[in-house]
Structure formats: structure tokens, C-alpha cells
Amino acid sequence: MLMSSHPGEQGASGDERLSTLLYNMNAVQAVASAVEGTIGPKGLDTMLVDDDGNVIITNDGVTILEEMEVRHPAARMMTGLARSQQQKVGDGTTTATLLAAALVTEGATLVQRGVPVAKVVAGMQAGINEALDQLEKAAVKIGDFDDERLFHIASIAGREQEDIARLIIEGARLIGLEKMKDEDFTFSELVTAREGTDNELLHGVLVNQHPLAKEMPVQLENVRMLVFNDALAPEEIGDEALGTEAGFQRYLQMKEEYRRNLEKLLSLEVNVLVVDKSCDSIAEEFCTDHGILVLQRVFKSERERVARHTGAHSLKRTALGKEVNELARSVGEAGHLLFDDNLGQVRVIHGRGVPSATMIVGASTKEVVGERERIAKDAAAAVQASLRGGYLPGGGSIELFVSRHLEKWKTSVKGMEGFGVDAVAAALRKPLSQMIRNAGFNALEKIEQIKAAQAEESRESIGFDFDTGDCADMLEAGVVDPALVKLYGLKSAGEVSQAILRIHTVIRKKSSWKEE
């Protein structure tokens, strides 16, 4: 079934294509309008309310886009863009969203003027590639954790909350430069927020679980741990086999063997078990009697984190059948373990494996816990991105500089594709324009002033002081952003906007439901 591009619109093929494009453009603009008021140092918050009256107050772009109700398919592509930006680099979702919306709007305007979509898209891709090349050339590497730019980055991403910025930098220092640059390591996962506590840097990891039984120890020294990616129980036998005499005897034999294998824990001096699934009553009784702490149903990410920190090797339940000396190679060790009953968390501190840090962000009330955690995670992601890819002048200054570069560079592009380059140049000015509006100034006037200042001083770092309304050097002011955030944001915005511009028509898929 054909989905009408707009209610009541049925025209020729060309009219239908244009109608679809404009309808998608309006949907994309609506998504951008939901977050544009939050960008920049003078951006405001958004209140999200659900049907039950629950409220979230935030200026975090990805939170707004993920929580708001979105039905239009093009609009959903924008929320997907924000989600991808968050997962990849952990910051810059609002900027990426505004860039994508601006690219769609500029492209649709060109199509309305008669420029073929194919030419617009080709020109946009050429412009984006050139812009990415300019951004990569301008990026400045960060040497170590003492670089003052790193604190500026953490502070900006952390909404100017210096206590959070300091906590994040110290956590990164504890993790180490090599681990922070590891693409498979996500630093922001080590951030958590708790009500009624102060900020704390824990030299270890947290497990969000209670001891299996009240009689089990809640504080241990010289921790020796085994981690099971499985249930702690005898091997299973099928119901059919269990119904036979041979099968039942085999079950009793396995149960007895399981009891003997548990005795190996004592030989290994193991005093903590971290288990993926459940722990059966036999193991629970054994561990309770011998002072062994059991944490069951522990999330995979937490099991992996505690295993890395303690040096443990994860096991299956069948591993208990191994010889004691072989099992000993899988034992992890740590200096201390403590269960905090108020927070419902187990702390594993000073492991013998990979050094780890947990950044606990304190919050005065439960209403601000979520926002404090989001802010700290953004700061952590920005710090890691900067250590990986360096930094660029912030405040929209580098985007404006690249926009000016594209206006000159487009003369090297032949034919109508130059219009697509113009679209990219215009879109790159959008974030700065919106930040200026949010600060209460005239965007057109101030953009021209900044462009003139950049040209006069030949510096890409000349931007805007959102307090005074004057031009200012962003590097001198300490306003810097992670290069990877800008690079990935522009690349993703280009991919999504081009996909939306190329949509010819919208067709509703047939239902997968079949009538009996």
C-alpha cells in the first residue's frame, strides 16, 4: 500500500517525489527543534513527561530523542543517528542531529529549485569528505593526563561541573593511557551515580548484587574468587533419561560427584563465587557453612569487569571437575571486598589483574541521580574520545572555518554538484547559529562578525563569547571539543541526510499477520 506523502496529496510522479521529500524534511526539522534549544553554554533543559506523570529534566540530546515519541520513519532515522553517535563516541548527539536536519533542509531547498537529487547528494558527499579532511588536519593530539585541555574537555562535556570533571580525569589516570585508547574499552561504563553519597573514585569494580544468603560474609580480606558464566549446579539430565533406572542412578552419581567437586573450593581457599545464573541449594548450603560469599545472577558486563580486575578466568560449571592445580589458574585475587547494604553493591578493590576505576557520582536527591550520571558519562566519553583522536577548537568555531573553506573549495567541483557543497557549507554553520540564538544574540549578524575575524586573523579558533557577544579565541578560552565527536557526527549526519534525500516515495509494507 502506498503511503501518501502528505494528507490529500496525489499528483504526478515528480510532484509526488517532491511531496515526499518535503514531508520528510518537515519531520526531520521537528526532531531537530526538540533539541536545538539545549545546545551551547546558554542552552536550556527539556522536560519529558510520560503517561503516568513521571518526569525527566535534561538537556542531553540522546536522552530527549530516545524518550520522545517518534512515529515518522524519517524522524526515526534521526533518533537512530543520535543513538549511533552516543554508542560510538558518547557525545555530540545534539550537534549531529542539527547537522543532519540542516543538510536535509538545504538539500530539499536545492531540489525545489530544480537541482537533481543525484547531483545534490554527490556534491554533499564531496563537501563532507573535504570537510572531514580539514577537521582531521586541524586536530591536536593530547600527550597525557596532565594536559590542561583534557580538563577543559571534561568540564565542557560535564556541563561545567568541575567536581565531575576532576573525578573523571582521576579515573582515566588510574585506568592508564593504553587502556583508554583501546577501541574495545568503554570508559563511560565505569561511571555510576548514587543518591546521598559524595563523589568517590573506587580503585576497583562494583557488582550490583546482594549476597545469596544473609549468613554469608559481607566483608573479606585477601579475596580469592572464581567466576562462572553458567549456573552453579550439577549437570542437567533430560526428563526422559531421568525417568529410567539408569538415568536416575546417573543423576545420583553426578550429584555426589558435584558435592565432592565443591570441596575443591576449600583446597583453593576460594572465598567468593560470582555466578551468571542461579546457585542451587547444595552449593548454597556448602558455601554458607564454609564462609564463601556467592553473588548470583550477575550481569555479563559486571562479570567480565570483575574477572579482568581480579585476573580470574571465567568458567563453565563443568570446570569444577578439573584437577585442583588446573582450577587454580582460574582463581582471581583482590585485596578487599565489601558489601554496602545501603547501596546494594559489592565493592571489589585492588585486584591483581588489570587496574580498574569506578567513578561514583554523588547526588543529593533521587530526582537528580539520573542527570548527574548522564553528565558524568558524557564527560567520560569526551575524555576517552580526546585521548584517542585529539581535540579541536569548540563553540562552533572550527565548523565555521571549514564552512568558509568549502565556499572557496567548491570552485574545484564541476557542474551542479557545487550546489551540494554549498549545502554542506550552510549546514556547518547551523550549530554555531543555534548556540548564538540560545544566548540571545542575532545569529546572522554575529556569524558575519566571526567570519570577518577568522579571515583577518587567519585562525580557525576564532569563535564567539556567549557571555559578552564578542569574538574570542576558543583555544585561549579553553573551549575545546574531542575531534572524534565532530568527525563521527559529521560523517553520520551526512549518511543519514543523504539517505533521506534519496527517498523517492514511502510505501507501507504489508502486514506480517495472516488471517487463519
Summarize pLDDT for 228-258 with one digit per residue, the tens.
998 998 876 655 655 576 666 776 787 888 8
pLDDT tens string 340-352? 887 788 999 999 9
Return the ∠ at Cα 104 (arms to 98 and 109), rounded to 5°: 125
**pLDDT greater than 90 at residue 450:** yes
**pLDDT greater than 90 at residue 72:** no
pLDDT confidence of residue 54: 75
Phi and psi dihedrals of 261, rounded to 5?
Answer: -65, -35
**pLDDT greater than 70 at residue 516:** no
pLDDT confidence of residue 509: 65
Specify the pairing of strand 471-473 against strand 462-464: antiparallel
pLDDT confidence of residue 333: 97
Largest CA distance in the chain: 93
**Mean of the pLDDT values across residues 290-305?**
94
**Mean of the pLDDT values across residues 117-143?**
96
How many CA atoms within 13 Å lie on the side-chain side of 111? 27
Give all strands (DSSP E) within 395-494, no chain letters.
Answer: 462-464, 471-473, 480-482
Which has more confidence, 387 or 511? 387
Specify the pairing of strand 219-228 against strand 55-58: unpaired
**Mean of the pLDDT values across residues 6-22?**
61
Q: With contact defined as beta carbons under 8 Å apart, do 461 and 426 qualify? A: no
Hey, is 322 helix, strand or coil? coil
Q: How far apart are CA 115 and CA 342, in angstroms?
A: 64
pLDDT confidence of residue 243: 57
Hey, is 359 helix, strand or coil? strand
Q: How far apart are CA 288 and CA 292, in angstroms?
A: 6
pLDDT tens string 133-187? 999 999 999 989 999 999 999 999 988 899 999 999 999 999 999 989 998 889 9
Instruction: From 85, 48, 78, 93, select the one nearest 371 (Cα to Cα).
Output: 48
pLDDT tens string 188-197? 989 988 887 8
Global pTM?
0.79
**Mean of the pLDDT values across residues 218-222?**
95
Q: How far apart are CA 302 and CA 274, in angstroms?
A: 10
pLDDT confidence of residue 368: 81
Which domains are delineated in the chain? 13-140+392-501 (1.10.560.10), 204-356 (3.50.7.10)
pLDDT confidence of residue 6: 45
Q: How far apart are CA 133 and CA 491, in angstroms?
A: 11
Q: With contact defined as beta carbons under 8 Å apart, do 227 and 306 qualify? A: yes
**Residue 9: pLDDT band with limits 50, 70, 90:** very low
Residue 368's CB: how many other CB atoms inside 10 A? 14
Sign of CA dihedral 353, 354, 355, 356: negative
Q: How far apart are CA 184 and CA 336, in angstroms?
A: 27
**Residue 55: pLDDT band with limits 50, 70, 90:** confident
pLDDT confidence of residue 324: 93
**pLDDT greater than 60 at residue 512:** no
